[in-house]
Amino acid sequence: MSRNATDANFGAVGSAWLPSAARLLQTIAGADKGVLDRVPEDRSRYTAMGAAVLGTALLGTLSMTLALTQVFDGFSWSILLIVPLWGVFVLNLDRWLVLTPMGEGLRGRLKVATPRILLAALFGIVIAEPLLLGIFSSAIEERVVTTRQTSNLTIEDRLRTCNPLPEDSPEAQAIALTSSCHGFRIAVVGDPRSRISELQALTNQANQLRPILQTDQARLADLNDLARRECNGDAGPGLTGIRGVAGECTRLRREADTFSAVANIGPRTTELADLDGRITDLSRTVGDEGAAYKEVLAQRIREEVARREEKQGTIGLLERFEAFDALRSENQYVTQATTFLRIFLILVDCVPILLKVLAGRTVYDALVERRRERRRRVFLARESNSEQARLNEVREKERDLRADDAASRARAGVEERRRTADEAIKLRRLIDQVRSQILDESSRTSSNSPQRQAMPLVRDADIPKQSGFDANMSHPLKSVRVPDATGSSGAEASDSA
């Protein structure tokens, strides 16, 4: 195939693809294909509007992807479900915003567009924040790391303050007992504070005994020296200068021995030596236990700090927002850049509705409004016709019900007359039977009695009245005369039933 043919085929494919893409964008913008074909000059407007709607949807999808990536600290299968749903939601929302027809004039357009612009701006803010976090992600993460390190150092200092060493000052020991150290105290086995208290008590006891014993020992030394000089015959104040162990020499030695016994110098010297030995041994024990305690306490503090660091976990979304806010408060350039970027992203999200407002009322809008009004009228007419049809149906049902009721009453009347006629026939047959019996009885008695006896007429009052008979109807036995004894038919019967 030649190069010209290839170029021609490519051009044909491109020319076929472009209208399809334009149609897709017009559909995204909510344009009616049938109406838009009648006003081809509005196609480019709705193509651009559809591109704006698609762009805001893609921007919202990207924003949600960044936000969820920061929340889950990387990829998660939940992102594949949430992000497409969010993108479709943003797309349909922007499509609805541009699909609503504008009112007449500037005031009418603003009346319709203002709440939609505010809604678009609100979604722009929601979409812009994750994008800003993604743009400044490196600075935000560095700030979070610094903040965590500072927090960990503060926690370590707090742990050391609330867990003082045994040799620390009483003020430091008192701080550890306050409520501010609640939750920061660490229990360590082998605390040498009890032995230190014992060592302190022994030291105080030795310190109290030592000066008194030293004074008494000095006094005893002076007395012994005086007795020695007297016994040696040395000359001096208080000395006789006579050599020998008798007399004054003996008295001075006895005085020195008496002072030593009274002052209890020997036992107290032994006691002080014992105290010094115990103090030496206990000091060595306290030193060993104190070193072990310091090492264990330092290890526990390091473990607690490490546990708190591990508890911090990955950098969360709220922590990023806090670090981002701290960066903006410290750096004016970051604040300005953030402000302009946020405004830009909000305006980008408002582009579809702004295009709709700035375009004004077009021929397409007029045609759509006219068709909508025509459909509304048709719908109302159909509803009116349906209502009239339902009313006619109700009336027809009412007529049918009345006809059925009249027919039921007629059938009831016919049934009542039929029942009355049946009762009259039964009564007539009964009367005929009674009359036959009377005639038979009369014929039997006439043969025994020669005289002719007149039988009374059966009157209407003697026959029980039956329900359903007319008051003017003649009774079946009215004016019936019973035959005489000779058998002649002297009875008159008029049956008018």
Listed in sequence order, the residues at least 6 apart from 317 whose beta carbon sits closer than 8 Å to its beta carbon are: 67, 70, 71, 133
Q: What is residue 447's predicted lDDT score, i.e. its pLDDT? A: 64
Alpha-carbon distance 495 to 497, whole Å?
A: 6
Pull the structure tokens for residue 359.
């375009």
Alpha-carbon distance 68 to 76, whole Å?
A: 8
Rounded to 5°, angle at Cα 337 from 331 and 339: 105
Read off φ and ψ for residue 458, nearest 5 degrees: -80, 115
Pull the structure tokens for residue 140.
């935000």
Alpha-carbon distance 55 to 348, whole Å?
A: 9
Mutual orientation of helices 317-330 and 105-135 as an angle, nearest 10°? Answer: 100
Listed in sequence order, the residues at least 6 apart from 247 whose beta carbon sits closer than 8 Å to its beta carbon are: 240
- Closest by CA to 249, choosing from 234, 265, 268, is 234
Contact (Cβ atoms closer than 8 angstroms) between residue 63 and residue 131: yes
Q: What is residue 22's predicted lDDT score, i.e. its pLDDT? A: 82
Contact (Cβ atoms closer than 8 angstroms) between residue 33 and residue 23: yes
Q: Which one-letter amino acid corresponds to residue 246?
A: A
Alpha-carbon distance 291 to 316, whole Å?
A: 41
Q: What is residue 19's predicted lDDT score, i.e. its pLDDT? A: 65
Q: Which one-letter amino acid corresponds to residue 391?
A: L
Quote the pTM value. 0.48
Q: Which residues pair with 480 in a beta bridge?
A: 458
Which 3 state secondary structure label does DSSP give 466?
coil
Alpha-carbon distance 427 to 119, whole Å?
A: 95
Alpha-carbon distance 257 to 60, whole Å?
A: 107
Listed in sequence order, the residues at least 6 apart from 56 whose beta carbon sits closer than 8 Å to its beta carbon are: 90, 91, 94, 127, 348, 349, 351, 352
- Closest by CA to 104, choosing from 447, 360, 372, 487, is 360
Rounded to 5°, angle at Cα 244 from 241 and 248: 65
Pull the structure tokens for residue 236.
């001096």
Q: What's the start-to-end Cα distance of the chain, in Å?
A: 118
> At which residue do the structure tokens 């008051």 appear?
471
C-beta atoms surrounding 271 within 10 Å: 15
Pull the structure tokens for residue 387.
């209502």
Q: Which residues pair with 458 in a beta bridge?
A: 480
Alpha-carbon distance 259 to 230, whole Å?
A: 18
pLDDT tens, position by position, for the chain (497 residues)?
444 444 444 344 344 445 688 888 888 888 878 887 888 888 888 888 888 888 888 888 888 888 888 777 677 788 888 888 988 888 888 888 787 766 666 677 777 778 878 888 887 888 888 888 888 888 888 888 888 888 888 888 888 888 877 777 777 777 777 777 877 877 776 666 677 777 788 888 888 888 888 888 888 888 888 888 778 777 667 666 667 666 778 888 888 888 888 888 888 888 888 888 888 887 787 777 777 777 878 888 888 888 888 777 777 778 888 888 888 888 888 888 888 888 888 888 888 888 777 777 777 777 877 887 888 888 888 878 777 788 888 888 888 888 888 888 888 888 888 888 888 898 888 898 888 888 888 888 776 554 444 444 444 444 444 444 444 444 444 444 444 433 444 433 334 33
Query: Is the four-CA dihedral 456, 459, 462, 463 of positive or negative sign?
Result: positive
Alpha-carbon distance 342 to 298, whole Å?
A: 48
Read off φ and ψ for residue 463, nearest 5 degrees: -100, 130
Q: What is residue 103's predicted lDDT score, i.e. its pLDDT? A: 63
Contact (Cβ atoms closer than 8 angstroms) between residue 96 and residue 352: no
Tell me how far CA of residue 308 lies from CA of 73, 76, 304, in angstroms: 19, 26, 6
Read off φ and ψ for residue 480, nearest 5 degrees: -95, 125
Tell me how far CA of residue 87 lies from CA of 32, 52, 57, 353, 467, in angstroms: 23, 14, 5, 18, 88
Listed in sequence order, the residues at least 6 apart from 91 whose beta carbon sits closer than 8 Å to its beta carbon are: 28, 53, 54, 56, 57
Pull the structure tokens for residue 213.
């014993």
Q: What is residue 66's predicted lDDT score, i.e. its pLDDT? A: 81
Pull the structure tokens for residue 361.
């009322």
Q: Go through the chain and tell me how many residues it has.
A: 497
The DSSP code for 461 is G
